[in-house]
Amino acid sequence: MSNAPPIVLVDRCTKHYFRGSERVEVLKSVHLEIARGDFVGLIGPSGSGKTTLLNLIAGLDQPTTGRVVVNGVEISALTESQLALWRTNAVGFVFQFFNLIPVLTAYENVELPLLLLNMSRRRRREQVMNILELVGLGHRLDHRPGQLSGGEQQRVGIARALVTDPALVVADEPTGDLDSRKSQEILDLLQELQVRLQKTILLVTHDLAVAARVRRLLRIQDGQLIDDTENPESTSHPLFGSRNVSSAARRLEEQERVKPSNAAGA
């Protein structure tokens, strides 16, 4: 995996915001490579810059300095409308609060990104049905989000992220609004899909139990990557099925105990 070019390259990126006249450095020279097909977690306390970094990689925002290259495209050099087009084809989004369109059915929600591609109705139908079967909702096509449980809604959300067959899937706290049993189910599903569909997944969380499920875990704090660990139990294979807190997460927990002020919060 190390010989192939990385699917994501974040090349010495910084991101500043202005709060009034005060300059806030949200990302301080982040350098990061993600290998194709990897399942990467990004953990850090609230306000550490996780979402900001994710947004740069997903082409939602531009770095103040530095480059972002995804799948060979230097997205930090694209215009806004070029980026929109790029996102349609290259990224799938999974959100914490699912963010399904309430007035559209599960089927229609999943079909939505395909409407941006030049695709026949029949091919769209095939693709939507396929992915909804994969996430186990083949029987819930005509249900509106309000008629589905939280876990089911997130399955629809995942189906929507994957239906365009994007190389990269980003998930910002995808289990943040689910109970732990439902969270585990969603993580099982993500892992399964990652292996079966060969997706690269970047998952943001502040939950150690969630972080334990990834193959590679990045830790961010105050806008800097401070740790990069591979799960020893899954070095040969991106998928690992343990539902127990892994050694990587245990190590993290120890670090958290050392610096209690940085304890992960909501």
Partner 1 sequence: MIPVAYSYRSLFVRWKTTFMTATGFTLVVAALIVMLAFIKGIQEVCETSGDPENIIVLNEGQPDEVLSQIPRSTASQIETARGIMRDSQGRPLSSREFFMVASVYDYRIADYVMYPLRGVHPVAFDVHSAVNLVSGRMFRPSQSEIIVGTGLMRSQKMSIGQTINIGRKSWKVVGFFEAKGSAFESEIWCDLDELASQFKREGSYSSMVLRAISPEAAKELAERLSDDKAISVDAMTEVAYYAKQGESAQSLQAAVWVIAWFMGIGAIFGVMNTMFAAISQRLKDIAVLRLMGFMPWEILISFLLEAIFVSLIGGAMGSAIGYMINGFTQSASIGSHDVQFTFRVDSTLLLLALAFSMFMGIIGGIVPALSAMRIRPLEAFRA
Ligand X SMILES: Nc1ncnc2c1ncn2[C@@H]1O[C@H](COP(=O)(O)OP(=O)(O)O)[C@@H](O)[C@H]1O
Binding site for Mg ion (CB under 5 A): 51
Over the window 79 to 108, marking each residue x when it contacts partner 1 by CB under 8 A and - when it does not, the resulting string is: --x--xxxxxx---x-x-x-x-xxxx---x
Q: Which stretch binds ligand X (CB under 6 A): 50-58, 143-151, 193-201, 248-256?
A: 50-58
Which of 8, 9, 48, 113 is the binder for ligand X (CB under 6 A)?
A: 48
Between 50 and 124, whose beta carbon lies closer to ligand X?
Answer: 50
For tokens 């806008």, what's the residue? 223
Taking CB under 8 A as the rule, does residue 113 contact partner 1?
yes
Q: Which residues fall within 8 angstroms of residue 194, CB to CB, at 6 or more apart?
A: 37, 39, 169, 200, 201, 238, 239
Q: What is the CA angle 169-60-39, rounded to 5?
A: 20
Residue 202's beta-bridge partner residues?
40, 170
* Closest by CA position to 216, among listed 35, 54, 52: 35
What's the token pair of residue 147? 């008629």
Question: By rule CB under 8 A, what count of residues binds partner 1?
Answer: 23
- H/E run at residue 225: strand 224-230
Residue 88 interacting entry, from partner 1, ligand X, Mg ion, none, C-beta within 5 to 8 Å by type: partner 1
Specify the DSSP class assigned to residue 223.
T
Interhelix angle 150-162/121-134, rounded to 10 degrees, is: 130
Between 108 and 222, whose beta carbon lies closer to ligand X?
Answer: 222
Least spacing, CB of residue 166 vs partner 1, in Å: 11
Taking CB under 6 A as the rule, does residue 49 contact ligand X?
yes
Least spacing, CB of residue 225 vs ligand X, in Å: 12
For 91, other C-beta atoms within 10 Å of its C-beta total 23
How far apart are the C-alpha atoms of 264 and 262, rounded to whole Å? Answer: 6
How far apart are the C-alpha atoms of 89 and 175, rounded to whole Å? Answer: 25
Least spacing, CB of residue 204 vs ligand X, in Å: 7
Taking CB under 8 A as the rule, does residue 73 contact partner 1?
no
Q: Measured at CB, which residue is nearest to ligand X?
A: 51
Least spacing, CB of residue 182 vs partner 1, in Å: 21
Residue 138 interacting entry, from ligand X, partner 1, Mg ion, none, C-beta within 5 to 8 Å by type: none
Q: Which stretch binds ligand X (CB under 6 A): 43-51, 79-87, 88-96, 133-141?
A: 43-51
Q: What are phi and psi of 196, to 5 degrees?
A: -70, -40
Taking CB under 6 A as the rule, does residue 219 contact ligand X?
no
Residue 185 interacting entry, from Mg ion, ligand X, partner 1, none, C-beta within 5 to 8 Å by type: none
* Closest by CA position to 207, among listed 156, 169, 253, 165: 253
Between 19 and 181, whose beta carbon lies closer to ligand X?
Answer: 19
Q: Is the Cα torsion angle 175, 181, 182, 188 positive or negative in sign? A: positive
Binding site for ligand X (CB under 6 A): 17, 19, 24, 26, 44, 46-52
